[in-house]
Chains A and B, each alone.
Chain A
Amino acid sequence: MSYQTDRHMSDRKPGHLEAMETGIAGFDQIAMGGLPKGRTTLVAGTAGSGKTVIALEFLANGVTKFDEPGVIVTFEETPLDLIRNVESFGWDLQQMLDDGKLAIVNATPEPGEAVIESGSYDLSALVARIEHAIREIGARRVILDAVGALFPQFSDSSVVRNELRRIHNGLRGMGVTTLITLERTDEEGGVGRFGVEEFVADNVVILRNRLDNEKRRRTIEILKFRGAPHQKGEYPFTIDVDDGVTVIPLSAIELKQKSSDIRVSSGVAELDRMCGGGMYRDSIILVSGATGTGKTLTVTEYIKAAIRSGERALLFGSEESREQIMRNASNWGADFEQAEKDGILRIVCRYPEVMSLEDHLIQMKRDIRDFRPARVAVDSMSAFERVSSGKSFREFVIGLTSHIKHLETTGLFTNTTSMLMGGESITETHISTITDTIILLRYVELQGVMRRGLTVLKMRGTWHEKDIREYVIDNHGMHIQEPFKGVHGILTGVPTYSYAQERRRLDDMFEDESRS
């Protein structure tokens, strides 16, 4: 019983149930602490939605992270299959069994043998076995995996339902925290089959595995936790062998990042001046412009500045190969190859198409964790948008942004706009509220000549120059020059200039030429 631990209720209000940490990354955040302690939670999902993995991770974490023994009651997969299937996640169930930290109750049907029924029966033997297993190892966590598989084993499903109800009540009496997994036939509609949800209706978690733009997208939703707070709605999650289940908590991400007033250089001195002395160290910068405006150059300057000041930089390329990135950089006088050899730079090139955005996010977080850079750049961020729906793209950006900020790292993302002359792309509206600084690069057509204009559209928490400045690109890099004076409408792509301005321009024409 958990009376003595009730005192440890920290952030939960009185009357709320205590939570049991699952140790599943992100899940405890959306569950506001974990599963309702001492209760049963139903996890329902279609085939392949990840029910068993989540249940087993809950159990394995109990043993390895919280020293809480667990019992698996398996109705579908044999114990041997279970042990083998999760070996790749690094969960050594066999070792836990040997250590007396885990017990498995094998409730799978015996192959090839039809059980003969003669007269009335109940499932007391199963109940006795479960209770015995719990007592024997002092289990705190129990999972009943794929209870649906119990029904075909017996001709009378009402008996099975009654007995499951009894098991459910019995487990509650023993004070263990239980996860029951149940197969659904459909992604929408009722919770599950066989009426199991009728008696474990207090706490229900739904897993979904939908096709989204030809990619599988897994989501988890806490439908309800009776008497316990939790985040509403669906959250994406991933399953991979390194980290097991990772829920991406998005809106639940705490906006607690410390904000730093330390500034770092963008690599372009004049741009630093326009930003009031450089970029904030823990800020996210978005560089947005049409193709050819110099986004990749901005990234290169930013990486160069990191290398110059001895900071580690991590560059994610999503459109160009390593060789292209290296060659571009060397054209602008940056030796990325040497920097990588020196261990101060890492370039990771992954085309967006190779995996889902959720998996990209996990991989990128892992790269960041492994390399521990002071600066991260993604060139380009908008490339990821074309392989996803708007929703998962937004979640991806939020997830990456919050991770970067949390580590007090500077992030620079590029965004390719579809319109050549200004305008705004979907990506900008998606990302702009999340980023701290937005730098716009625009083509400006003046008197039939294509010129380039740069402006700092927004910069959180500081003064910045509001002018639109002309810049040129040569093989030394980017050179920011004077503001476009008297020209309006550059950002909308339809620049107009006043007559007076035109006259002065004509007056200055020859001077212009001599200035080179």
Chain B
Amino acid sequence: MIYKLRLYVTGRTHNSLRAIENLKRVCEEDLRGRYEIEVIDVLEHPKLAENERIMATPTLVKKLPVPVRKIIGDLSDREKVLFGLDLSPFDLAGGNPSEANGGA
């Protein structure tokens, strides 16, 4: 199953850069080979933000698999990110959450 993720950021702020970094790390660790990330700058594409009713940045939108879900913040709380992506340790009995450390 492919994870289609969209990350809304604001220019190159600290929060934006951290969120991109954190997201990539989580994906490499838990979704290697089955994710697509699209990074959208709300300053350049306010219309997209309007359509998707984005209020905060950074906002991560899990578009697929359904249900669509939004996670706001710089994604520094890994557990919450996994929970939002339906990848929380409880669902991932066979996963290996603490194995890899390098990433991206």
A binding-site residues for B, Cβ under 8 Å: 105-108, 110, 113, 115-126, 128-129, 131-133, 153-154
Contacts and interface: CB of A to CB of B under 8 A. Distances in A.
Counting chain A CB atoms within 10 Å of each CB, which of B49, B69, B80 scores highest? B49
Contact of A122 (B47, B54, B56, B81): B56
A119 B8 contact: no
A128 B9 CA distance: 11
Contacts of A126: 54-56
Interface in B62-104: 69-78, 80-81, 83-84
Contacts of B78: 118
A129 B15 contact: no
B10 A120 contact: no
Interface of B, secondary structure class, is mixed
A153 B73 CA distance: 14
B53 A115 contact: no
A344 to B, nearest CB: 59
B81 A132 contact: no
Nearest to B56: A121
Nearest to B59: A125
Contacts of A133: 46, 50
Counting chain B CB atoms within 10 Å of each CB, which of A122, A128, A154 scores highest? A128
Nearest to B18: A119
Interface residues of B, number: 34
Contacts of B76: 118-120
Nearest to A103: B50
Contacts of B83: 116
A129 B50 contact: yes
A117 B13 CA distance: 18
A115 B50 contact: no
A131 B10 CA distance: 14
Contacts of A118: 71-78, 80-81, 84
21 contacts: A116-B71, A116-B83, A117-B80, A118-B81, A118-B84, A119-B15, A119-B73, A119-B74, A120-B76, A121-B15, A121-B73, A123-B55, A123-B56, A123-B57, A124-B42, A125-B42, A125-B49, A125-B54, A128-B10, A128-B49, A153-B55
Counting chain A CB atoms within 10 Å of each CB, which of B50, B70, B80, B81 scores highest? B50
Given A106-B53, A121-B58, A122-B15, A128 B69 contact: no
Contact of A120 (B42, B69, B74): B74
Contacts of B39: none
The 8 A-B pairs with the shortest beta carbon distances in the complex, nearest first, are A132-B46, A119-B73, A119-B76, A119-B74, A118-B80, A124-B10, A118-B77, A125-B54
A125 B8 contact: yes
B86 to A, nearest CB: 11
